[in-house]
Amino acid sequence: MILVVGVVVGLAHAGEYLQTLKEGSWVCTTPETYDLAIAEARKPNSNLEDLKERFVAEKLCIYADAEFVEKMMVPFAKVLERQGAKVKVTFTVQFRKRLAILHRQVSRVTFVGWTDASNLEDKEIL
């Protein structure tokens, strides 16, 4: 998984629809790794928290829960490539950390990875 710290370039216009990830989506390094994550998650007695930790530790996949999706920045998920039902997307997430009463650390991380096209949904920019 490629991680790049940077700033999002480009602005959305009012009324324009952009795409974001659905909650509960996996984003992985390859389409095959995505299929593996889905297969592992569907196994009986699989533990989602353990899977998330394992795939992140192995730098194979990230899991987009509600909190993660909320931190995605405009232009949200941009499709770079299509391969069957899978899409390669790029998106930037902003993390904020309070260091002191008046100080915060802001980090922006750009992710690139594969997910199923059905994991993208339109989001209107007002």
Average pLDDT over every residue of 14-20: 68
| Residue 126 reports pLDDT greater than 90 | no
User: What band does 54 get if pLDDT is binned at 50, 70 and 90?
Assistant: very high
Helix (H) or strand (E) holding 42: helix 31-42
- Strands (DSSP E) contained in the chain are 2-5, 17-21, 25-28, 61-64, 78-83, 86-98, 104-116, 120-124
Q: Any bridge partners for residue 49, and if so which?
A: none
pTM of the model: 0.76
Rounded to 5 degrees, φ, ψ at 71 are -85, -5
| Residue 115 reports pLDDT greater than 80 | yes
Tokens 């790049």 map to which residue?
4
